[in-house]
Structure 1
Amino acid sequence: MTFCRSIASLLLSCTFALVPGAHAAGIIVHDARNRDVAVTDVARTVSIGGAITEILYALGLESRLVGVDTTSLYPPSALHDKPNVGYMRKISAEGVLGLNPSLILAIQGSGPPETMDILEAAKVPLVLVPETFSEDGLVEKIKLVGHAMGVDARAACLSAAVSADLAQLRALRAKVTKPVRVMFVMSLQNGRAMVAGHKTAADEIIQLAGAANAIDDYDGYKIIGDESIVAAKPDVVLSIERGKDSLQADAVYAHPGFALTPVAANKSFITMDGLYLLGFGPRTAAAARDLSVKLYPALANQGGSFTSALSATNCRQ
Structure 2
Amino acid sequence: MGPKRIVCLTEEPTETLYALGQEDRIVGISGFTVRPPRARKEKPKVSAFTSAKIDAIVALRPDMAIGFSDIQADIAAELTRRGVEVWIANHRSVAGILDYIRRLGALVGEASRADRYAAQLEAGVTAVAERARAYPQRPRVYIEEWDVPQISGIQWVSELVELAGGVDVFPELATESLARQRILADGCEAARRAPDIVIGSWCGKKFRPDQVAARPGWDQVPAVLNGELHEIKSPRILQPGPAALTDGLADIERIIAAWVAKQSAR
- Shorter-chain TM-score category? 0.7 to 0.9
SS in structure 2 at match of 1:73:
coil
Structure 2 gaps of 5+ residues are 262-266
Whole-angstrom CA distance in 2 between matches of 1:205 and 1:278: 11
Correspondence 1:98-113 to 2 at 5 A:
98-111=59-72, 113=73
Whole-angstrom CA distance in 2 between matches of 1:188 and 1:128: 27
- With over 3 angstroms needed to count, the CA separation of the structure-2 counterparts of 1:114 and 1:229, relative to structure 1, is closer
Partner of 2:56: 95
Residue type at the aligned position of 1:208? L
Contact map agreement 1:185 1:196 (CA 8 A) in 2: yes
Q: Deviation string for 1:73-118 (max 9, x for gaps)?
A: 101221232111221222333232121112212223352x333122
- With over 3 angstroms needed to count, the CA separation of the structure-2 counterparts of 1:248 and 1:145, relative to structure 1, is same
Partner of 1:27: none
Runs of 4+ in 1 over 4 A off after TM superposition: none
Deviation at 1:144, TM superposition (A): 0.8
Matched, 1:72 2:27: no
Residue type at the aligned position of 2:92? T
Matched, 1:56 2:56: no
Deviation at 1:248, TM superposition (A): 1.6
Whole-angstrom CA distance in 1 between matches of 2:117 and 2:157: 23
Deviation at 1:196, TM superposition (A): 1.0
Whole-angstrom CA distance in 2 between matches of 1:233 and 1:299: 17
Which of residues 195, 199, 222 in structure 1 aligns to 2:151? 195
SS in structure 2 at match of 1:247:
coil
**Going by fraction, where is helix more abundant, 1 or 2?**
2
Q: Deviation string for 1:117-161 (max 9, x for gaps)?
A: 222233333222242312x21211111111111111221221121
Contact map agreement 2:194 2:221 (CA 8 A) in 1: yes
Whole-angstrom CA distance in 2 between matches of 1:298 and 1:247: 20
Deviation at 1:257, TM superposition (A): 2.7
Whole-angstrom CA distance in 1 between matches of 2:50 and 2:91: 14
- Superposition TM-score, scaled by structure 1 size: 0.72
Q: Deviation string for 1:172-224 (max 9, x for gaps)?
A: 221233221111123333xxx51315x53432332232211112443342045
Which of residues 121, 144, 153 in structure 2 aligns to 1:162? 121
**Going by fraction, where is strand more abundant, 1 or 2?**
1
Correspondence 1:9-48 to 2 at 5 A:
23=1, 39=2, 42-48=3-9
Contact map agreement 2:144 2:199 (CA 8 A) in 1: yes
- With over 3 angstroms needed to count, the CA separation of the structure-2 counterparts of 1:94 and 1:176, relative to structure 1, is farther
Deviation at 1:242, TM superposition (A): 5.9
Residue type at the aligned position of 1:207? E
Residue type at the aligned position of 2:194? K
Which of residues 222, 225, 244 in structure 1 aligns to 2:183? 222
Which of residues 77, 81, 100 in structure 2 aligns to 1:141? 100
Residue type at the aligned position of 2:222? P
SS in structure 2 at match of 1:259:
coil
Residue type at the aligned position of 2:14? T
Partner of 2:207: 247
Residue type at the aligned position of 2:47? G
Percent identical among aligned pairs is 21
Q: Is the deviation greater in 50-59 or in 72-81?
A: 72-81
Contact map agreement 2:235 2:243 (CA 8 A) in 1: no
Deviation at 1:55, TM superposition (A): 0.4
Deviation at 1:43, TM superposition (A): 2.4
Partner of 1:266: 226
Q: Is the deviation greater in 58-67 or in 208-217?
A: 208-217
Matched, 1:85 2:37: no
Which of residues 297, 300, 304 in structure 1 aligns to 2:258? 297
Structure 1 gaps of 5+ residues are 1-22, 24-38, 301-317
Correspondence 1:266-285 to 2 at 5 A:
266-285=226-245
Contact map agreement 2:232 2:251 (CA 8 A) in 1: no
Deviation at 1:72, TM superposition (A): 1.8
Matched, 1:131 2:91: yes
Contact map agreement 1:226 1:256 (CA 8 A) in 2: no
Residue type at the aligned position of 1:249? P
Residue type at the aligned position of 1:265? L
- With over 3 angstroms needed to count, the CA separation of the structure-2 counterparts of 1:215 and 1:242, relative to structure 1, is closer
- Superposition TM-score, scaled by structure 2 size: 0.85
Whole-angstrom CA distance in 2 between matches of 1:228 and 1:169: 30
